[in-house]
Structures are given as C-alpha cells and as structure tokens.
Amino acid sequence: MTGFARRAVVVAVAGMSLAGLLTACESNGGGGRVTLNFYNFPDGSGAIQQAADTCSAQSGGKYVIKYNKLPTAADGQRQQMVRRLAAKDSAMDILGLDVTWAPEFAEAGWIREWTGTNKSQAEQGTLQTSLQTATWQGKLYGVPYNTNTQLLWYRDDLVQKPPTTWAEMISMATQLAKEGKPHLIEIQGAQYEGLTVWFNTLVSSAGGSILNADSSAPSLGQPAVDAVQVMRDLAKSPAKDPSLSNQMEDQNRLAMESGSAAFELNYPFVYPSMQQDKPVVGGVKLAEHFKWAPYPSVKGEQSRVTIGGIDLAVSRYSNHADLAFQAALCLRNKDNQIVAAVKGGLPPTLVDIYTNPTPDFVKNYPMYQAIFDSLKTASVRPQTPAYQSVSIVISHTLSPPGGQNPQSAVNSMSSGIKDALASKGLIP
C-alpha cells in the first residue's frame, strides 16, 4: 500500500466513525429483525430493490435487507468498499463485488469464504465461468449474482448477414462509408476498464492470456500482438467513431440510437434501451432493425468474450454473517435473476434459466440463447490481487487505441505488468 493509500484509509476511518455508530444502531429492526446492509451498484431498473424487498418478506421475520447504493463508476464502488473494510466497518454485511475483486478482497481478509451448505447451494446449477470469478486459490468467496457478456449488435437494414471476424466487420463498415450510409463500429475505447475488457477479449479469442496459469507473470505473446493489431486496424479505418478514445458503454448505446452506427459491441442492456426509446432516424425505426449476433473473432476461431457481472460476498466484519449468507442466496435466486434480466438486461448466472426459460423471460429477453452460448465459452480477466494495477497498465498503454505499434505496445505492457505484480510503482 502506498503512503497516499495509507493516508486515505486513516482519513476514511476518522470520517466514518460517526457513520458506523449511526448505522450500527440500525442493526436490529423492529420485532427482533436484523437489518442486513447490502451494498451494490446503483440500479435504475428497480430490480435490486425488488429483490431486497422480496427476500426480506420471505425471511420469516429474521431479517430485512437495506439496499445501499454505491457510486456509479466501478472505481468509486471499489474505493468506498476498500476504505470501509480497511476500517473494519461492521455496518457492511453483503457486498456486491465486481468480478475482478475477489482475489484482492480475499487476500486482504475482508470477505468470508463460502463453505459447507452455503457453498453447495451457491455452486448448484451455476455457470462454471461465473463461479471462477468468485474463486481464489481454490476457495469460493462469493455467489454469482449476475453475469455479463458482450454481443455484436447491428442494423439488419444495413447489413444482411452479420460479420464473423473483425476484419470482415471493418471491411463491411468501410463499404457502407463509401456508400454514404451509417457505418461506424461502436466499442469502448476510453482509458478505463472497458479498454482492458476489449483487449482481454481479443487476446483470449486469439488463443492467449494476459497472465500465466498461476498469475505470477505476464503471458501475452503473439495473441496480444494480434489483439493490438485489431484495435489499431479499427482506429485507422473509416469505421472508427471520431470519439473512440473517449467512449464508454453508454456513449456507444447513444451513438447507435442516434443512427450513426451500423455495429456495436456492447452488453445486453442496450436491447431494452432501444426497445424503450424507439428512435426513428431518417424514417427508419431503429428498434425494428436492431439485431444481435456472436462477438466477431480475431482470425476465425471461437470468440471468448470477457465475462462481467457481480458476485455477492459476505463481509468479514459483519455481525450477522449467518443471516447474510442466507440473504445473499435469496437475492440471487431464480426468480430474482429473471427480474434483473427482464428489467435491467443483466444476464443470469443460473443455467436452468437458459435451458428451461419461462415465457416471460423469452419474450423480454429474446437474445438469451446467444448470451448463453457466449457465456459457455467466456474468458475471465486476470485473477490476481494486483488486478487494479494490471488493468491500469493495460488501459494506459493502449490509449488511444490507434496510437501504438503492436509489438512495442505488448513489450511495454509486459514490463508494466511485471512491476504491477511485484507491487512496484503506483498502486491504486
């Protein structure tokens, strides 16, 4: 931990002492019910609050779940949790962790291992790749709450048959540009986690990995060179959005809805948005032509799209750990996952939802089979307690996406990742 980080923790401890005392007063609800504080990303769809209310009602009076909204950005979410956990804040019970955080939080001793019946229930019927995100050194530290994967979204009034490779997609977009038609390819190119996700997907799809098997050293190699070349090819083509180096997921969504793009690589949340907004551009009802296909490959092989999502962990400092484990299992049950998918576009982690879909799920989540197929072959981001530093090295090296020589960029990343794993340099 850097001196800056240590000072930040001290300030956090001092600043939270009163807040911790106030929240502790709420630890027991009326009638003997325990209040379980659940910290998760801010959900505008209402699905998380609905799940919290449902599980509270179904607890038989044992507990009530209080949904506390974290900051919108993942970095802000992690920062708030790290500071409070470093202060051993007992007012945190259930934690919604990004799928890259389990190793860091487990190594720090901030979250409890899932064992016995709790572990068996967490694993039963759950996607194996999702479980991998919640596992560190063979131990389970979370129950997968939801997952995420990107698909290729495209307009079928512009493209009759979706491309299967990046080269084919760039070629199609270039031809559309020559014809004066909407042609942009929307992807996350800003200097943040989304750029790391793009790179990890391309490296995995090319048959490689960012770290070696035991996460002790960078792997990279030719697959990484191929990945950077794809990013450079897009950035140097007419298919590039002029704002590529500043774009994140929601900017991609808005660009697609504005009618300027033909392709978009993004998460399923874009589908309900398109259906609700129903944009009409040049007389074209875009929602009627908004289709999906598998993520394009690097060289014709099976794409391995980077998995996302949230894992529910139980704080080491919770005074109600047994109830917190029960509540976390309830929050991620089948009914609540279906609600989260239909309302918020968040893919479930339970296999049965995909293999035995309800009519409501099929109606409101028509791309479920494509998502399931992608999740079965998904890749995970590097699993290491130093992930935040590794990700920063990658996103800083690759920004802007068209500004590097592929081999030089990979060499630079390899050196930076070695330093990150050795805790050298700035650790966020």
pLDDT digits (tens, 9 = 90+) for 246-298: 999 999 999 999 999 999 999 998 998 999 999 999 999 999 999 999 999 99
- Which pLDDT belongs to residue 11? 33
Distance (Å, rounded) from C-alpha 264 to C-alpha 155?
Answer: 9
Residue 428 lies in a domain: no
Does any domain span residue 427?
Answer: no
365 and 390, same structural domain?
no
To the nearest 10°, report the CA torsion of 390, 393, 396, 399: -80
DSSP state of 305: P
165 and 122, same domain (yes or no):
no
167 falls in which pLDDT band (50, 70, 90)? Answer: very high
Residues in Cβ contact with 216 at an 8 Å cutoff, skipping those fewer than 6 apart: 421
Has residue 361 been placed in a domain?
A: yes
Domain shared by 165 and 62, yes or no = no
pLDDT at position 9 over 90: no
Give the residue carrying structure tokens 């809805």: 257
219-246 confidence digits (pLDDT tens): 999 999 999 999 999 999 999 999 999 9
Number of domains composing the chain:
2
pLDDT band at 321 (very low <50, low <70, confident <90, very high): very high
Looking at the fold, whether 407 and 295 belong to one and the same domain comes out as: yes
Question: Please, which pLDDT band fits residue 425 given cuts at 50, 70 and 90?
Answer: low
My answer on whether 231 and 314 are in the same domain is: no
Query: 81 with 214, same domain?
Result: no
DSSP-derived secondary structure for 44-94: SSSHHHHHHHHHHHHTTTSEEEEEEEPPSSHHHHHHHHHHHHHTT-TT--E
Give pTM, 2 decimals: 0.88
Same domain? For 102 and 240 the reply is no
Q: Which of 375, 374, 387 is nearest to 211 (CA)?
A: 387
One domain, residues 160 and 138? no
> From the centroid of its chain, how far is CA 294?
18
Residues 10 and 77 in one domain: yes
Is residue 330 in some structural domain?
A: yes
Q: What pLDDT shows up at residue 8?
A: 34
Total residue length of the chain: 428
Q: Among 327, 123, 274, which residue's Cα sits nearest to residue 336?
A: 327
Q: Where are the alpha helices (DSSP H) in 166-299?
A: 166-178, 193-205, 222-235, 249-258, 270-277
Give per-residue pLDDT as tens, 17-43: 334 433 444 445 445 789 999 999 999
User: Is 101 part of a structural domain of the chain?
Assistant: yes
The answer to whether residue 68 is domain-embedded is yes
Determine the Cα–Cα distance for residues 14 and 192; give it in Å rounded to an integer.
Answer: 30
Distances in whole angstroms, Cα of residue 268 to Cα of each of 17, 148, 273, 394:
40, 8, 9, 25
Q: What is the mean pLDDT of the chain?
A: 91
Q: How far is CA 36 from CA 30, 32, 64, 371, in A?
A: 13, 13, 6, 32
Do residues 145 and 311 make contact, with C-beta atoms less than 8 angstroms apart? yes
pLDDT the model gives residue 360: 86
Question: Do 65 and 52 meet the contact criterion of CB atoms below 8 Å apart?
Answer: yes
Asked if 163 and 283 sit in the same domain, the reply is yes
**pLDDT tens digit sequence for 335-371:** 999 999 988 889 999 999 999 999 989 988 999 999 9
285 has which bridge partners?
280
In a domain, 196, yes or no: yes
E strand or H helix that includes residue 268: none
For residue 51, the enclosing domain spans 3-148+308-376
**pLDDT-derived band of residue 50, with 50, 70 and 90 as boundaries?**
very high
Same domain, 276 and 224: yes
Quick: pLDDT tens for 390-403: 999 999 999 999 88
Residues 275 and 158 in one domain: yes
- Is 381 a member of any domain? no
List the CATH number of the domain containing 14. 3.40.190.10
Q: What is the largest distance, in Å, between two alpha-carbon atoms of the chain?
A: 70
